[in-house]
Each structure stands twice: as C-alpha cells, then as structure tokens.
A and B are shown apart, each in its own frame.
Chain A
Amino acid sequence: MALLEVRNVSKNFGAIRALMDVSFAIGPGEVVGLMGDNGAGKSTMVKLIAGNFPPSDGEVLVNGEVCHFHKPIEARAKGIEVVYQDLAIADNLTAAQNVFLGREITKGVWPFRVLDKQAMIDRSAELFAELKSETRPRDLVRKMSGGQRQAVAIALISHRMPDVFAVCDRIIVLRRGTKVADKVTAMTSPEEITGLITGAILAA
C-alpha cells in the first residue's frame, strides 16, 4: 500500500489552474524527487500535501486513508513534515530555536511544562556535528552567513526527515500544473529530466 497517494488532484486559484489532474503514489521507504520549472506547481503540490490549503478537486491519501487537511498542523498529525529552506527561518531566533520551532521539546508537568532548552541545544549540536557544520546552536541566525543559514535549514530537514539525504529513488516531474513523468532514478538520466522540465521532451 502506498504511504502517500495523490489522486486526480487539481488546484485552482481563481482563474489560474496551478495543478491539473495530478496523480502519483509514494511507497514506504521511497525517496522521491518532485521536479519542474518555475511555476510548474511543485510548491502548490507540496503545500497541498502539507495541508496549507485543500485541493479544488481530487484527494490526498495517507496510509490509504483519505485526508482533508485544512491546516499544516493536521497534516503533521499524520506524519507529514515539510521543510521550506529560507522561508522557514526566523532570524531573530537562535539556530537551535529554529530547528525546533513549532515542535519544541518540553519537560515537566502541566501547567508547568516548560521548554527543555538544554535538550534542544544538545540535539541541534548533534545535528550540526553530523552535517560537519560549525554552526553553534546558541548563535542568532541574524548574525550568520548565507552558508550557515543553509546549514540551519538542512538541520531542520534532517531533524524532521532523517533520511532525506539519501539519493532519490524516483523522480516525478511537473510542468505547468500537470504531471509529465514519474521515473525510477536508475532508469533515467539528468538530461532526460532536464528535457522533461523544460518541455523539450513532452512526456515520459
């Protein structure tokens, strides 16, 4: 059974048709790349799966169960995590605070449940060490270089989706709101994918 299935999904923003009848399924343990040119509908697709807005048509299934997400938090409850690189960093917070934003570790008993700052700092330090980054958990993101910010964003990814660093098993290509390809990585080439993205190859 597919872990995540997108079935005949369309999304309209007024007259703009961002996605048109897109379907695909992702199995457990699979790492899938979603590719496409600017405006192809990648972000719309991801935001839709993550529950930022519901589809205009079609449905999203998680573990075979039809889900109607209206808020990111509902999708998260089903185990869907999305990491947006630059957008998802608040530069007035420290690296550790960013890595754990929205899912802070707490300790104690309600109503005295408090942030477990040390645990979050230690865990982010481990993540940065794994990434071979010199980023320190207590540094403010505002004072960081672009590269360091990237490290924080990647730490966010690795914290929330531990095996995303594995090479994709499969690549789905979107072009102008429509799915044009769904290929196993081993069966394709960068040239083919590029062609699919630009429209030089119509579909595969």
Chain B
Amino acid sequence: MQHKPPQSPETGHAVIADVAKIKEQTILQRILASQAFWVSVALALLVTYMSILQPSFGTVDNVANVTRNLAPFGIMALGMTVVIITGGIDLSVGSIMGLVAIVAGLFLTWEYPWYVAFLMGLLTGIACGAVNGFFVAYVGMPSFVVTLGMLSIARSLAVVLSGNQMLYKFGPDAPMVKAIGQAKWPVQTPGDWIPDWIPQFSSHFWVMVAMALALGYALNFKPWGRHLLAIGGNENAARLTGVPVDWIKFLAYVFSAFTAAVASLLLLGYNGSAINAMGQGYELRVIAATVIGGANLMGGAGTAFGAVIGAAFLEVIRNALLMAGIDSNWQGAFVGAFIILAVLLGMQSGGKSLIAATVERLFPKKHR
C-alpha cells in the first residue's frame, strides 16, 4: 500500500482518523464495549451451566423465585444507578426500606386503607430522599457523609416508631396488601392455554421491568438523562452550559429513595408483616449490582439495563451457591469479589482497559 502523507490534500490538514486512530463506533462495537453486555453473557453461561448441573435450578418455580428475589435489588439498583451517574452514592436505601415498611405498617395497623398506608410509605421515602438531595445538591456536602447519616437516622426512626416490635396485625386491608405483594402473572392453572414452561412471574418482577423500561426511556430519550450524564462527566461544564445541576442532583436522591420505598412496600406485602430490620445491609448489594451492571462510581456512566442485569447476576450467583450446597456464609465473599472484579473490568487507564494497562506495567515492552 502506498504511504499516506499525514496531510490530506482535500482538507489541507491531517485527517483525524489517521492521526488519532479512532474510528466511529458501529452499534456492534458499542455493544461489545459495554460491561452490561459481558455481564449478560456471563449470566447466560452461568444459567446454562447451572441448569445442566442442577435440574432443580431451571424449573419454572425456581425461575419465578429467583426473579422475585432479585426484583427489590433491581428496583433499588435503578435508583442507585441514577445517583451513581451523577458521581454520588446513596448508602441510605436499606434503612429507608426499613422506615418505609414501618410507616406503612403503622398506618395499616391503625386500620387505614391500603392506599393511604402505601402513599404514606412512599411519601416517607421521598422525604428521606429530599433530605439527602437537599444536603448533597444545595448545601454541597459529600453524598457519602449525608447518606451515611441518613442510614443511621432512618433505621433509628424505624426502631423507635415500631417500638421494636414486628407489625403484622394489619387492619381490614391486610388481604389487599398481601395480594399486591404476592400477585403473579401469568397465573398458571392446570389445563389453561398458557404453556407450562412460562414461569409465574411475581408482581415484584413486573414492577422492576416497568420501572427499568421507564428509566431506560428517560435516560436515552429525555434531556434529563443527557443532563444526568453530563453532570457525572463534568459537573462544572454542565453548570456553565445552563443545566440545572442542583435540581437534577436533588431529584436523583429523591428517585433513589423512591425506588427503596417501592421495593419496601412490595416486600411488606409479600411478607404480610413489617419489621424495622428490613433492608439491613441491602445498600451493599444494591451498589454491587449497580457497579457490576457497568455504572461508574466516578460518575458519568450507567444504564437501566445494567442495573437490572447486575442485580440478576448477584441473585443467580447466590441461588447457584445455595443449590450447590455451599454454606450461605460464603455469599458475602463472592459478592465482594464480584464488586472488585466489576470495577477492575470497567476501569480505564489512559484509554486502555485497566487489565491491559496493568499487564503493560508488570511486563513493560522493551524499546525498539
């Protein structure tokens, strides 16, 4: 091939593709570059492997179970993704779950209708999120500190309000609450038209799917999503170009707390009781799910699909370990290892993946 001069004759200056060696990405390349895609592949392999190894893993009942178990984490991971895109973190989601469950549980105990109880629960969650958002976005405090404080406050309030009792004597609407938490679709009855291989997905799962679709739509097609990413990428730039940075950051924390409230109410309905310890330690798993799904803790990257797939991945691992008969105390070690691995895979160092950069550092190429 003929040697190409650095200056192209038409433009009179170097053609970018020649100099910078970057090509416009095709859709396929973009998919291949996304962490969520590779986690999906790993998840598919894991599911296939487990289905072959453990006949009880691939059953419709277990699929319904796994999808129900992962849904609260998936729902909260959606909220966490939004916060993490802005470069923040929300440690208070687990405690907010506990407080929301107790508030809703109290209203049910006082024999209010279920929608009043649920509304009060949601408002409690939103209020917690608004406090977080106010201190982070408008006062300018680090999100780590504010939400750590909220973690303690919300849990403490939940214990105080509940009188450290389990709430289960719900009023006349108790069956309705249970029906919401335990609803399934499609319902399998013997001899109906629905093929038997379709699992009876729980309401939790469908709520997660609906919220993920809504968030995915907003992130991809609304200026709001664009602004969120810009804030995570360069907050100063976003502010100077007129993006309402404070308001959008505030909303991120409100949304995160809202997702925690939704997850809490679904679990409240499923259990038919409210305990103040609900959601204890969940923040770690939610953050793990979000990070595994490709959200960048430094801000500026994250997808709704990634949040759900990250939550699914963690739950399948957990379920697989249980089925393989491994002591459940090992789960923490696995979750932790996957967080480190996910961040390692997602990290970039000077335009290269961190792994490539590390290999180069350990085994430097000799000068030619």
Interface residues, chain A, with chain B CB atoms under 8 Å away: 52, 72-73, 76, 82, 84, 87-93, 97, 101-104, 106, 113-115, 132-136, 138-139, 142-145, 148
Q: Are A90 and B240 in contact (CB under 8 A)?
A: no
Contact (Cβ within 8 A) A92 B229: yes
Q: How far does the alpha carbon of A139 sit from the alpha carbon of B222 in the complex, in Å?
A: 20
In Å, the complex CA distance between A134 and B301 comes to: 26
Residues in B neighbouring A142, C-beta threshold 8 A: 351
Stretch of B12-20, B101-109, B180-188, B194-202 on the interface side: B12-20
Q: Is the Cβ of A93 less than 8 Å from the Cβ of B244? A: no
CB proximity of A121 to chain B, nearest CB, Å: 11
B residues 7-34 touching A (CB-CB < 8 Å): 11-13, 15-17, 19-20, 22, 24-25
Chain A residues whose C-beta falls within 8 Å of the C-beta of B301 in the assembled complex: 92
In the complex the two chains form, is B24's CB within 8 Å of A82's CB?
no
| CB < 8 Å A-B pair total | 95
**Distance between Cα atoms of A82 and B237 in the complex (Å):** 11
Could you say which residues of chain B place their CB within 8 Å of the CB of A113? 222
**In chain B between 314 and 346, which residues have their CB closer than 8 angstroms to a CB of chain A?**
none
Q: What size tier do the contact residues of chain B reach?
A: 20 to 34
Query: What residues of chain B lie closer than 8 Å to A87, measured between beta carbons?
Result: 234, 236-237, 240
The 8 closest A-B pairs by CB, nearest first: A90-B233, A92-B233, A134-B16, A92-B300, A102-B241, A114-B221, A90-B234, A102-B242
Decide yes or no whether B232 CB sits under 8 A from chain A.
Answer: yes
Which residue among B12, B233, B237, B241 has the maximum number of chain A CB atoms within 10 Å of its CB? Answer: B241
**Closest Cβ of chain A: how far from B205's Cβ, in Å?**
26
Q: Which residue of B lies closest to A82 (CB)?
A: B240
| Distance to closest chain B CB from A137 (angstroms) | 9
Contacts of A84 in B (CB 8 A): 237, 240
- Do B226 and A97 touch (CB < 8 A)? yes
Some 15 contacts from A to B, beta carbons below 8 A apart, are A72-B239, A72-B241, A90-B230, A90-B234, A93-B229, A93-B230, A97-B230, A106-B223, A132-B13, A134-B15, A136-B16, A142-B351, A144-B20, A145-B16, A148-B20
Supposing A114-B222, A148-B16 touch, asked if A90 and B242 sit within 8 A by C-beta, the answer is: no
Q: Are A88 and B24 in contact (CB under 8 A)?
A: no
